[in-house]
Amino acid sequence: MNMFSDPVAVVGGTGFLGRHVMAALGAGARALSRRTGFDLLHPDPAALWGCSAVVNLAGIKREVGTQTFRAVHVEAVERLVAAMKEAGVRRLVHVSVVVARAAPGLPYHHTKWEGEEIVRKSGLEWTILRPGVIYGEGDDLLAHLSLMIRAAPVFPIVNDGSAPVMPVDAKDVAAAVAAALRTLASAGKTYDVVGPERLRLRDVVSRVAEAEGLPVSIWPTPAALMRFPVRLMEATMRQPLSTRAQLAMLVEGLAGDPGPARKDLGLEPAPFSVERVRPLVEKISRRPPFDFRLWSAPRPERKIPAGPFLAFLAASVAALSAVFGLMADQWLGMTIAMAASLAAACGFRAARSRIHPTILRVVLGLAAGAILYGATRVVTALLPALWPAWGPWRDQLYAWRGGHGIGFLLPTLVLIVLAEEVVWRGVVTRFALERWGRPLGLLAGALIYAAAHAGTGNPLLLAAALGCGLFWGWLYAATDDLTAPVLSHLAWDLMVLFVAPLHPAV
């Protein structure tokens, strides 16, 4: 069913709430997000042409790379408003959060509020909806509560668990979006969208446990003690159980007034009852408790521009060639050249934003280093038979210490490896992948990486760089991140050069 004559663009229509909104709006609703090629940080007005209205659901709970609170909640809203005006779309339903307010010390709350202010001053026909915590199929709330209740009989609750919350069903929030679009009288108004009951945080946990049929012992835990674990989860997990922004919301609670939305939008939100929650947690408990996916589709982002890339590549290759051709102490030369290339590579957003370690990426990187070392041992054992003249090239390769002690070699090795991965995978291979896709892009990246070692005149090093370039390029492309290739490269170098060398160093 499509209740609108022209399509409604739902920005963030691929997310948790977005899927419920898409279902509520029916055919004719058009989901837009980075996954569909629409990046709100650089919105293309053409995507909005012919739409009767826009619903903006884009939001983030933690900052990753270019997706900062300011970029997504403030600058993106400014650009969306401008794109709507250019496309001639006047109606906007903007989804914020019930805790949004001017609070510079709380970046999530503050930027959500700044986004609201931009909408209020936009001159468009706007309605702002401010949901409390939302539950429903595909949510974080029930999924994480249920996981914690199943994992341990004790539940550490923020402070004494008395912060007020009014959980609202995602279907009700979606119904509020549809009602706001239908109800012109809602233009120029801001509505809280919360559940009908004011509960304490600990009541929410108890109800979920009851729906699971599991006992739970709730332990009051000072918020200060939770900050470090939450920060750690944010840094290492693809789906952290909580983020700093969420913790801040749980400390103060998420309560609002359901009255105005009831009156103007006819919204009768359902209660957060054990009966409603039970089928949802039953579904969740059938899912595996952890997300073991390692492979991610490349994030659509603006391509690395060709002009700056070619200048960067030429400068990096020239610096390395100068080192190999001119400097007696090649290790020191490599360190200086790669440090300069690393600094230049950080000018490319794509290189900066793709080092996000998660536990799985770290484990994968170390395992890949071990596998590569095993493969190197096998190849080294076979080489004398396949290529009798390889010995002198190997000896030249192992003359790398150049009289330096371990105190100099170890830290510079870490720098060189990091720089090599950021430069050759994060910029060069990425540029090739963006233009030619896999596997051609991987091959091109590895060939350029090998060619950069041509200045040594050592065919063994060239072959090793080609093989390793393919392997680390694949790791990078598969995880869309530099963590695994950096760790694999470092582990391999440490094994080959220090821990279990294949040849005595000169």
Given the rule CB under 6 A, which residues bind ligand NAP?
Answer: 11-12, 14-18, 33-35, 38-41, 57-60, 67, 72, 76, 95, 97, 131, 133-134
Handedness of CA 357, 361, 364, 365 (dihedral sign): negative
Relative orientation angle of helices 359-386 and 483-494, to the nearest 10 degrees? 50
Q: What is the SS3 assignment for 442?
A: helix
Nearest-approach distance from CB 30 to ligand NAP, in angstroms: 13
Dihedrals phi, psi of 30, to nearest 5 degrees: -120, 115
Classified as helix, coil or strand, 164 is: strand
Structure tokens at 365: 């990187």
Instruction: Report in angstroms how near the CB of residue 35 gets to ligand NAP at its nearest.
Output: 4
- Calculate the dihedral angle through the C-alpha atoms of 451, 413, 479, 240, rounding to the nearest 10 degrees: -160
Write the CB contacts of 42 (distance below 8 Å, at least 6 apart in sequence). Answer: 79, 302
H-type alpha helices, 286-358: 306-326, 330-345, 349-352
Length of the chain: 506
CB of 344 to ligand NAP, least distance (A): 26
**Nearest residue (CB) to ligand NAP, 170 versus 432:** 170
* Cβ–Cβ < 8 Å for 463, 476: no
Q: Nearer Cβ to ligand NAP, position 201 or 345? A: 201
* Nearer residue to ligand NAP within complex by CB, 238 or 394: 238
Q: Nearer to ligand NAP by C-beta: 212 or 301?
A: 301
Provide the 3-class DSSP secondary structure of residue 240.
Answer: coil
Q: Quick one: angle between helices 274-285 and 141-151, nearest 10?
A: 70
Smallest separation, CB 11 to ligand NAP (Å):
6
Nearest approach in angstroms of CB 274 to ligand NAP is 20
- Whichever of 131 and 445 has its CB closer to ligand NAP, that residue is 131
Angle between helix 330-345 and helix 406-420 axes, rounded to 10 deg: 40
Q: How far is the CB of 63 from ligand NAP (least distance, A)?
A: 11
Minimum gap (Å) between residue 266 Cβ and ligand NAP? 21
Give whichever of 99 and 448 is closer to ligand NAP, judged by the CB atom: 99
- Give SS3 for 26: coil
Residue 371's alpha-carbon distances to 55, 196, 280, 394, in angstroms, are 48, 56, 42, 21
- Return the C-alpha torsion angle 407, 409, 411, 412, nearest 10: 140
Least separation in angstroms between residue 94's CB and ligand NAP is 9
Judged by CB, which is closer to ligand NAP: 33, or 341? 33
Residue nearest to ligand NAP (CB): 15
Nearer to ligand NAP, 254 or 442 (CB): 254
